[in-house]
Structures are given as C-alpha cells and as structure tokens.
Amino acid sequence: LDEFDLIDRFFRRQRVQREDVALGIGDDAAVVRAPADGRLVVTTDVLVGGVHFPAHTGPSDIGYKALAVNLSDIAAMGASPAWATLGLTLPDPDESWLEHFASGFLALAERHCVQLVGGDLTGGPLCIAVQLTGIVGTSGYLSRGGARDGDEIYVSGTVGDAALGLQVVDGTLRVSEQDGAYLRGRLNRPVPRVELGRALAGRASAAIDVSDGLVADLGHLCNSSRVGASLEVDALPLSPAYRRALPGVGWEAALTFGDDYELCFTVPLGYVDDVERISRELDLPLTRIGRVGGDKVTWTMEGEPLSLSEHGYQHFRK
Ligand SMILES: [Mg+2]
C-alpha cells in the first residue's frame, strides 16, 4: 500500500462531514468556507515519540492526544474547533498501528465536530504534527493578555494528575490499581476543555491551557497581561488519587509539571457568579486559586511565601 492507499483506508472514513468544507482530503489542498462574521483561530502542536510521550504508548492514545493538545489550545482561545490537518511521520507503515492511531484521533474529532481535511504521511522517526483551526463568533476570543488587577484566578478540573500518571507509567510511583488506571488515563487521555473555553469567551479576562505546568503557564499569562498575582498552593484542586499520593510526592508535580490541559483563567469580580453557574452546567470543578495584583507573581502555602530557585519552587515538602 502506498501513502495514498493508507490515507484513503484509515483517514477518509471519518463520520464528520461539515457543511463549511468545500473540498476535503484528496486534493492538493483543502477548501473551507470562512464564517461571514467570525474570525479564524489557528494553532499547531508537534508531538515527537520518546520526547512528548513514552515510545511504547498505545497508538490509539497517541492519536487521541495529538488532537487533544490542539483542541486544548483552541479551548484556551474560547473558540469552536472546526478543521484539522495531520502531518504524520512513521518509521514503517504498520497497518495495525495506523488503524488504532486513526481510531483514537477520529473518535475525538467526531466528539468535537472536527473534520480532518488533509495531511501528509511520510517515512521517518515517529512524529505527529496537527494543525487545527477554530472559529470565534461575536463574543470574541480569549487571550493571555487581558488580566487586570483585582481579577480572580481560577483553574478547571484537577492539576498534577498527568505528572503522577507518567511516574506510574515509568514505574517510579506505586499506587493502587484503581488510582494507577485513573492517573494513566489523565496522562494519555486529557479532556480538552472546549465547552468551558467557549462559555468563558466574553466573560474571562484572560486564559491559558496548562501544558507547561501551572507555575510556568500562570507566569506566561501574567507576563502577557503585564500584571502580578498572588496564588495559594493550599487552594489547588487535587484529585482523590493525587491526595492519596501527596504525602510521598508533595505539591511539586501539581505546580511544575504540565500535560493536564486544564484551563487557567482570570475573571473580573462581576463575572464570578457566572463562573459558578458554568461550573454547575458543565459539571466541572472551577477552583479559585488566587487573585491578580501586585508587581510580581507570588505563591504562598499556609500563609508562608514559597521561594523560587533555579529549578523551580522549593519548600513543597510540607
Ligand atoms: Mg497552550
């Protein structure tokens, strides 16, 4: 089977057929209809085998995550995802691998009404590049740059689970079978907060998805907004599995490792009630972890300031 047969066989069978796609897979390029009164939001993420995921990760999980990380960026912009392209480099065209990869990718695409409109398949070290385009309407888009003094800072879901998931996968953390399955799932199948991002558009003043770790990503948000912030470590939302592991692993994973793909966002006081309503409607915890203000970003734990070292924050041992 050549490149075209493989694409035809594994990627053309998607169920999503969007009306705004004039020409999809199979031509030199795709043709889509841009919304008359909206804007397009474009993102791309590259995953390299052995760097961004352990080399032995299942192909269905890799396919899922390659799209999920892009959906998460679209979510952080408050946009609705629409069209994807896929650049796939494979050491050898293993049909079973491709079938599972495509099933993980296309099942998540279907859940978010994303149509795969094109791509490229080549030989080489395992590498997956996805480009995803989203649409924002009249409520506008979210960015990292709009936080203002006095805004409340929130994070969705729970943080640190993916970090512990990786420790479970590489054998450095022992937990119960049930907690292990949960934490591995959070690493391999992060849930992009697309509905949350859309609900926050027009309400949140700034947003970012947690891919590099909460401390780093909040730093990016505050830099872009040119604001400081005070954060409370004790307020961070941890899963029951993380809480059970906390005495051994400490807070560091929750603060400095990324890959959770939760949204961190700031909200003017006038919209705090909306955040509580959105949390109920989406059945998703949205936890207040601090406030925008001051001239730098400070973290406290039980009222004590944490000091920053070259290797990240210290004093997580409590
Ligand atoms: Mg991001």
Distance from the CA of 77 to the center of ligand 1, in angstroms?
9
| SS3 category, 271 | helix
d(CA 180, CA 177): 5
pLDDT exceeds cutoff 70 at 313: no
Backbone angles phi, psi at 211, to 5 degrees: -110, -30
Distance from the CA of 73 to the center of ligand 1, in angstroms?
5
Q: What is the pLDDT of residues 194-243, one digit of tens each?
A: 999 999 999 999 999 999 899 999 999 999 999 999 999 999 999 999 99
pLDDT exceeds cutoff 50 at 44: yes
pLDDT at 308: 58
Distance from the CA of 209 to the center of ligand 1, in angstroms?
5
Distance from the CA of 235 to the center of ligand 1, in angstroms?
23
Distance from the CA of 168 to the center of ligand 1, in angstroms?
25
Average pLDDT, the chain: 92
Are 209 and 74 in contact by the 8 Å Cβ rule? The answer is no
d(CA 181, CA 257): 19
Distance from the CA of 155 to the center of ligand 1, in angstroms?
14
Q: What is the pLDDT of residues 12-38, one digit of tens each?
A: 888 999 999 999 998 899 999 999 888
pLDDT at 312: 47
Q: Mark the residues whose beta carbon lies below 5 A from ion ligand 1.
A: 73, 209, 211
pLDDT at 309: 53
CA atoms in the 13 A half-sphere facing the CB of 280: 5
pLDDT exceeds cutoff 60 at 317: no
d(CA 261, CA 191): 7
Mean pLDDT along residues 147-152: 98
d(CA 79, CA 42): 10
pLDDT at 314: 45
pLDDT exceeds cutoff 70 at 311: no
Please name the residues in contact with 111: beta carbons below 8 A apart, sequence gap of 6 or more: none
pLDDT at 13: 82
Q: What is the pLDDT of residues 263-297, one digit of tens each?
A: 999 999 999 999 999 999 999 999 999 999 999 99
d(CA 218, CA 264): 7
Distance from the CA of 261 to the center of ligand 1, in angstroms?
8
d(CA 302, CA 235): 10
Are 85 and 115 in contact by the 8 Å Cβ rule? The answer is no
pLDDT exceeds cutoff 70 at 178: yes
Mean pLDDT along residues 122-140: 93
Q: What is the pLDDT confidence band of residue 79, given thresholds at 50, 70 and 90?
A: very high
pLDDT at 150: 98
Higher pLDDT, 7 or 142: 142
